[in-house]
Amino acid sequence: MHFKKSSVFQSLLAINLALFIIFLSIELALLFKPLYYFDVWYLGIDKIAGISTARIVENYNYMIQYLFDPRPQSFKLPSLPYSVRGQIHFGDVKRIFTSIELLFIITGLVSVAGLYCGIKHGMISVLKKASFILLFFIIVTLTAFTLNFDASFTLFHKAFFRNNYWLFDPVTDPVITILPEAFFLHAALFILMWIVIGMILLSVCHRKLLKKWKNKSVF
């Protein structure tokens, strides 16, 4: 197969690489608990919810552990009440994140193998194409957030969830009071920050490899 001449292969690899960076950014954001700890203080979540910081952190840590643990298990908050609807919703969220983790691994393996073969044959433009895909994703996402984050947030839930259990009642599911929409905005921006970093790294690698290949062609 002529890797260098296969535009289809290059495009598919670029899309795969861009998706890998997006999935990686989501994983990093979810694992970075200090972002939430900061928001507890910055947004005054403890005061708004009327729940101590210790209990907030305890329940948030449990949610992250629950979402990242691939093993089937029931959702049971350690020190906050929850409804059956709330339990079902978090089960749905867990399935989404489990799928993201699986796709992260698959796209990562494909990216490593594809880039190894591609760059070996001078297929450097894949990096540039992937960075452009990420740039497009960033622009579209930021535009949606700027125009109306609340509408974007609602659209996301309607697209990814089969029911309306994400509409929590704070009386039966007080967990919603410790997860304000502003936190999700900060988390989304944090994800975009990592995507921007990934895009920049791809551009830098593309320039360096292009220069290296040009120098090779001279000799």
* Residue ranges per structural domain of the chain: 3-218
pLDDT for residue 219: 41
Grouped pLDDT means (10 residues each) for the chain, 219 residues: 66 96 96 96 95 97 94 93 96 95 97 86 87 97 92 91 92 96 96 97 90 60
162 near 85, Cβ under 8 Å?
A: no
Neighbours of 172 (CB within 10 A): 14
pLDDT for residue 37: 97
pLDDT for residue 76: 95
Angle (deg, nearest 10), helices 125-160 and 84-120 = 170
Which SS3 state, helix, strand or coil, does residue 48 take?
A: helix
This prediction's pTM? 0.91
pLDDT for residue 83: 96
* Spatial distance between the Cα atoms of 131 and 203, rounded to a whole number of angstroms: 6
Which SS3 state, helix, strand or coil, does residue 23 take?
A: helix
pLDDT for residue 1: 47
pLDDT for residue 218: 41
**DSSP summary character for residue 43:** T
pLDDT for residue 5: 53
Closest CA to 126 of 7, 2, 19, 40: 7
**DSSP summary character for residue 70:** -
